[in-house]
Amino acid sequence: MIRVLVIENHETIIVSGLRQLFRPQRDGIEIADSAVSVSAALKNADASGFDIILLDLWLPGEKPLENVKLLKEKFPGKPILIYSSEDSGEWIRKMAMAGVKGYVIKDAARDELKNAISKVAGGNTWFTGLSLAGDHGILSQEHPPYNEPLSLVQKRIIEFLITGKTLKEIADTLDTNPNKIEKTLVRMRVKFNAKSNVELIKILLDLALV
């Protein structure tokens, strides 16, 4: 059983959602404890009660790099996995350099988050959205991100692109906006080291992911 300490200020929405997402007996993952800030976790969390820290990047009144430093000092040996809506490659790299063991974007599929928790708890690393080709020396990753299946939304976007739909048409079909579609495609291009959507489609077809 992997016991998770979640540090997230949106406790009602995110923490409750994670408790519903993962069932201990089915998934081998338990949300064992939670805190709304790093300061609260440093004060109240019991190191014997959790195996891994799931940490939001942006917490009110606290600084990301300082948070990682304080948690590593207080809970040595407890790996930190960032779980954030911040998808900037710069911040992912900053967190990797600061010593966190993984980084997952909040719109990731359930299976990706589950795999990330399992890998990080097992002593490996998991960084969503980083190209293997450009990040050797910063990260070591047992399983490349392209070994993981696409999320339902990612798969549908690629399938629509293959049929010739524009970003606006895809956004209308999925009831969202073109900017969100493009952001998803940017993350996928970085993840698969593709220079264009055409190249991305070819890579995904070659890997039998669509």
Q: What is the pLDDT of residue 110?
A: 87
- Contact present, 188 and 155 (Cβ < 8 Å): no
Q: Where are the alpha helices (DSSP H) in the chain?
A: 16-21, 24-27, 38-44, 64-74, 89-98, 110-121, 152-162, 167-173, 178-191, 197-206
Beta carbons within 10 angstroms of residue 195's beta carbon: 8
Q: What is the pLDDT of residue 108?
A: 83
Domains and CATH numbers, the chain: 2-143 (3.40.50.2300), 152-206 (1.10.10.10)
Q: Which amino acid is at 108?
A: A
The half-sphere exposure of 201 on its side-chain side, counting CA atoms within 13 A, is 12
Q: What is the pLDDT of residue 148?
A: 66
Assigned token pair, 68: 């990682």
Residue segments in the chain with a per-residue pLDDT below the cut of 50 = 130-145
Residue from 85, 22, 82, 11 nearest 52 by CA: 82
Q: How far apart are the first and last CA of the chain?
A: 33
Report helix, strand or coil for 144.
coil
Q: What is the pLDDT of residue 190?
A: 86
- Contact present, 31 and 49 (Cβ < 8 Å): no
